[in-house]
Structure 1
Amino acid sequence: MALSAGVPDGASMSYLSNADVKVGIDLNRGGAIVFLARAGEENVINNFDLGRQVQLSFFSGPVPFSVNGQQPSEHWEHIGWNPIQAGDDFKHGSKVLEHRNDGQSIYVKTLPLQWPLNNVPGDCTFESWLRLDGAVVTVRARLNNARVDKMQYPARLQELPAVYANAPFHRVVSYTGDQPFSDAPANIIPKSTGKHPWSFWQGTEGWAALLDDNDRGLGLLTPGRTFFTGGFAGKPGPNDTHATSTGYLAGQGQEILDHNIVYEFRYELLAGTLAEIRARAMASKASSSALPAWTFENDRQGWIYMNARDAGWPVRGALQVTLDQEDPQLLSAFSFWRAEEAPRLSIECAIKTSHKTAVVYWQRHGEDAPGAKDFIQFPIQGDGEFHRYEIDLASVPSYKGSIIRLRFDPVPVGSAGDTITIKSVRLMKPR
């Protein structure tokens, strides 16, 4: 297929298009998305180097990460294990193992490269499925790990996915308020005040965008996820796919990536106006407004641990967590709900311990952690048998307003032999 204007040099392209939009992946860059444009318009994706594009990128330990004695450069020591879809920092493109395009969908399987190392394949594969829904690109993405290192490293922030746009799209916009889907004004995300150019925020409508001065650009929609990072580096300029100046977005999730995990997520891309991006998010309001409920039949549902570890992948019906460290904690994925709509909490679990009480904390919208009064203590049975605990959150005066996260401390202090097997955590409506 003939190349379109605005693709990177040396590209081998595979496209999908309809009357609204055209999207293209580059088979010389691991099948990463290098082209996205509305009909008759220019490509909005930045391709300055192999760390840009729209691509899959995952993180785990150890930090730093080395292979056969090859060490990352000092600049990348903090990255750790980081296979990415397009290639590495040494200008090697990742290898496409399989590719199909039937005109309606694209499938691509990739052997990624470790970004910080020189031509070192990742001990994993990536898979992506792309389709068009009007002007929207819908993507299902999968990581298949096959690491020799079987250590369960702590959860890391993942780029789900990494998105880079060209220099005209310098305004980072999202909705960060506590009235999602109410037509409240969108928010300009302020520039980072730290050394790193990217900011972090809760996008409570599940979208973020990189826009020009006319509210046109590139939107990222992340069904089921509300945590984002992004920013702009450089100076606003012309729409040049090779320029160093770029806007950046990523849907964020903290995830444990076991040595053998199969991890999937979905996202959407929309090249268009702010109004179009928010309208697409509004279409998902029904699912987004459901009360959070996490059932651990096949995976962790985005939950992570502090001072604890579980039995690893695969998950079979429940999370089996060892509680033998100081102050073990289970933390939910970020979400959004109103306290008055979810006054009760149900936890189905089996706890083996001599302790008699557990604690649930909640993190309110706009706060970085639970407040001093944002918790409830409740009695438990430490017999190792399954029980369903129904907790009256509304009995605590501070449980009010908008909430974004739960923290569950099954025991105050871990001891040898203490465990929890947890099947589900569900927020519930008033009786």
Structure 2
Amino acid sequence: MNQSPYRLLIVTIFIGILGLEGCKDAPLTWPTPGTGGNPAPPAVVVPPATVVSSSTVGPFTYTVPAQEAEWLSYNGNLINGRAIGATTVQESATLRLEVRKEYGGSIQIYDKTTNQYLVNFFDKGRESGFASYAGPRSFADDSPRWKGVGYNPLQAGDDGGNPSPVLFHGLINGYIYTKTQCLSWAHQDKRLLPFFYEQWVRLDENKVHVKVRLTNQRGDKGFYNFEEQEWPFLMINGAKSVRFYNGSAPFTNAATSTSDGIERAQTQGGSIITQQISSFYLTEPWEAVEIGANRLIGLYSPEMYRANYNVAAIPAHDNWEGGNTMTYLGGRVFDPLDSDNTWLKEFTLIVGTEAQIREHVYAQPRLTKPDFWFDKTNGRNQWYVFDGGHDQKQPFRVDNWTVTYDGHIDNGPLNARGTKILSSTGSWRASDIDTIYIRMGYKGPEQQLNLTWLLNGQSPDGINPEFPIQNSLVFPRGARPHYGQVLPISVVNDGQIRTYRIPMRHSLWKDIVQQFEIIHTQGTSVIAPGEQIELVYFGTTNPDK
């Protein structure tokens, strides 16, 4: 991959230390740190009156309004000396939802209970939603401040403060709809990308439901590596504590963990450092930020079993929507931005008590056991290749996911040993799964592959010892014993499709399983590029029946 987890770790630690503005990926050359915003923010005026009322709707369909609507309100509050501008609004008894034209259709929430705007709008790289990434890394090398960030379309706008243009704004079935053409975040010259962000958003009492359709129509048809996407993310004003659950008893209201994202560095003279931003795994797909006494804003997404959080620009002591200090939540999935693909995404923001957040999350459907068909309908199922491989891109023209290993260079020859396939993430009780079935074809030099898995509270690939307090919360089991937590797959290497049955009998097959990996055996022999796996099915149901 262009950025290994270790490289991302080093880069993102610096974001936490410096409090840089922007989204996820730090550049390889550093912008000037933020000034901390305005220490005396302007008085906040909450525009009056409900403009659009939400309605109860049935099952969601991605239906576009037949005609455009006028922006129905205006917010004159200033951020960076500019009025927020045209908005469309929904209100409930406890919340006010604003969709903001001059921020590409990004959403803001005003909490009437604590009398504060919640989402951070320090620059056009903040806000909430879906931030997407693709290669090549050199795509932004002509940007003044964000070299190395690559292809990074963003809903709100760019580093120059330019808003992404809203192409269409309308109202349908109780939702506020916008279609935005994303700007390249790294640039400052209103550089349009062929990436379109359609958003349907609706206020439902204490919840904000957001549906998104992402469409990439890129002229560059090359395959670029699987990237860690921010799908979704949320930035909240001020330095706040974050709450989450990654224990062994999910969906039972078991006690959660809380972190303020700060501890004393073991080096650097014992200075305060913020959360390391290494992604970790949740057994319930939500995180929340404390915004008042027994009051939180929760971020839920059905695929949010891998996540992170961060608190940035703490010395600025800001706590308003135009300030630099913010608390970040992010769901982290790996996906490439295929050149001609569409993604349907969703998340919900819930403002209330922890019990209210979890009540909503528990009521949503979820995959209780692995059950993945790789076909034209389901594509990759958010599975991905790590460290040197490519596939046929989505959408699939034919069934089956074909992965070709390209290999990597680590102080030696080009070698595919170590390239691996990883599953999407979930929360699966090991005691409910006694057998895994893999239907696939393998073509390569090996006669055995290995299946390994990640348990809740484990770090997949080592731990940074600089963060003992945070590690105790996000990685309480420590690092996974990589080759001590495997079961063999005896493969026939002729490329023919077969079903492999793996009885899950192992001392470390327990508690909650979060992810699977198909890996090579340990060895020193070089595997030449071209090794191939064609994956048809992975799960707990025998596909031959």
Query: Structure 1 length as normaliser, TM-score?
Result: 0.89
**What per-residue deviation string (whole Å, max 9, x for no partner) do you get for residues 225-280 of structure 1?**
21112222226967522222222111111111112221222111112222221221
- Between the aligned partners of 2:262 and 2:341, the Cα distance in structure 1 is 33
Q: Residue 89 in 1 paired to residue 159 in 2? A: yes
Partner of 2:202: 131
1:186-211: CA deviations, max 9, x gaps? 21135266866563332221111111
- Note if contact 2:73-2:89 (Cα within 8 Å) is conserved in structure 1: no
Query: Which residue identity does 1:179 align to in structure 2?
Result: A
Q: What secondary structure is seen at the aligned counterpart in 2 of 1:165?
A: strand
Q: Deviations over 1:163-215 (max 9, x none)?
A: 11122x61111112222122222211352668665633322211111113513
Distance of aligned partners of 1:37 and 1:335 in 2 relative to their CA distance in 1, 3 Å threshold: same
Match of 2:374 in 1: 296
Question: After superposition, where does 1:415-426 map in structure 2 within 5 Å?
Answer: 415=528, 418-426=531-539
Counterpart CA distance in 1 for 2:491 and 2:516 is 18
Of 306, 311, 317 in structure 2, the residue corresponding to residue 232 of structure 1 is 311
Distance in 1 between residues matched to 2:443 and 2:116, nearest whole Å:
60
Return the alpha-carbon distance in structure 1 between the equivalents of residues 325 and 236 of structure 2: 9
The equivalent residue for 2:146 is 76
Instruction: Indicate the residue corresponding to 1:377 in structure 2.
Output: 488
CA distance in 1, matches of 2:318, 2:149: 31
2:385 matched to which residue of 1?
A: 305
AA matched with 1:150: K
- Secondary structure, counterpart of 1:384 in structure 2: coil
Alignment of 1:57-72 (within 5 A): 57-66=131-140, 71-72=142-143
Q: How many residues align?
A: 421
Q: Is the 8 A contact 2:280 2:459 kept in 1?
A: no
What RMSD in Å do the two structures reach over aligned CA positions? 2.7
Q: 1:34 aligns with which of 96, 108, 114?
A: 108
The one-letter code of the counterpart of 2:232 is P
- Measured in 2, the distance between the counterparts of 1:4 and 1:276 equals 30
The alignment partner of 2:137 has SS state of coil
1:341-356 equivalence runs, <5 A: 341-356=432-447
Q: Is the 8 A contact 2:184 2:192 kept in 1?
A: yes
Structure-1 separation of matches of 2:325 and 2:406: 48
The question of whether the paired residues in 1 share the 8 Å contact of 2:402 and 2:535 is answered with: yes
Q: Decide whether aligned partners of structure 1 residues 36 and 387 sit closer, same or farther in structure 2, where only a CA change above 3 A counts.
A: farther
Q: Report the residue type matching 1:293 in the other structure.
A: D
**Residues 92, 416 of structure 1: alpha-carbon distance in 2 compared, 3 angstrom cutoff:** closer
Change in Cα spacing, 1:212 to 1:410, as seen in structure 2 (3 Å) is same
Aligned residue number for residue 364 of structure 1: 455
8 Å Cα contact 1:7/1:35 also seen in 2:
no
SS in 2 for 1:28: helix
Counterpart position of 1:153: 224
* Aligned-partner SS, 1:116: coil
Secondary structure (helix, strand or coil) at the match of 1:81 reads coil
* 1:22 aligns with one of 84, 87, 96: 96
Runs ≥4 residues deviating over 4 A: 4-8, 38-41, 192-198, 235-239, 410-417
Cα deviation, residue 391, structure 1? 0.9
Deviations 1:12-40 (A, max 9, x none): 10223344533121112111113343579
Mapping 1:182-261, distance limit 5 Å: 182-191=252-261, 197=275, 199=277, 200-233=279-312, 234=314, 240-261=320-341
Alpha-carbon separation, structure 2, partners of 1:6 and 1:218: 23
Out of 96-105 and 3-12, give the one that drifted further.
3-12
Q: Any idea what the Cα deviations from partners look like across 1:381-414, whole Å, max 9, x if unmatched? A: 33333222121122x3332332211101378864
1:236 and 1:272 mapped to 2: Cα distance?
A: 27
- Structure that is richer in strand per residue: 1
Q: Which of 346, 358, 379 is the equivalent residue of 1:266?
A: 346
| Cα contact 2:77–2:84 (8 A) shared by 1 | no
Secondary structure at the aligned position of 2:458 is classed as coil
Q: Give TM-score scaled by structure 2 length.
A: 0.71
Report if aligned partners of 2:261, 2:274 keep a CA contact under 8 Å in 1. Answer: no
Q: Which stretch of structure 1 is more off in the superposition, 48-57 or 36-45?
A: 36-45
Give the % identical residues.
25
Residue 336 of structure 1, aligned match among 421, 427, 433: 427
Deviates more, 1:144-153 or 1:109-118: 144-153
Determine which of 127, 130, 146 is the counterpart of 1:53: 127
Q: Distance between the aligned counterparts of 2:293 and 2:316, measured in 1? A: 13
Unaligned runs of 5+ in 2: 1-71, 266-272, 408-415, 461-479
Structure 1 SS opposite 2:540: strand
Provide the rounded CA distance (Å) in 1 between the counterparts of 2:196 and 2:531.
36
Matched letter for residue 403 of structure 1 = V
Tell me the distance in 2 between the aligned counterparts of 1:425 and 1:7.
52
Letter in 2 for 1:426: G
Deviation at 1:49, TM superposition (A): 1.5
**Quick one: which amino acid aligns to residue 267 of structure 1?**
F
Note if contact 1:114-1:120 (Cα within 8 Å) is conserved in structure 2.
yes
Residue 115 of structure 1: how far off its partner (Å): 1.0
The residue number in structure 2 matching 1:406 is 516
The answer to which of 116-125 and 407-416 deviates more is: 407-416
How far apart, in 1, do the equivalents of 2:296 and 2:445 lie?
A: 57
For the structure 1 residues 90 and 192, does the alpha-carbon distance in structure 2 shift closer, same or farther, using more than 3 Å as the test? same
Q: Which amino acid is 1:320 matched to?
A: T
Any conservation in 2 of the 1:178–1:204 contact (CA below 8 Å)?
yes
Q: Check conservation: 1:14, 1:101, Cα contact below 8 A.
A: no
Gaps (5+ residues) in structure 1? none
Q: Structure 2 CA distance, aligned partners of 1:417 and 1:230?
A: 38
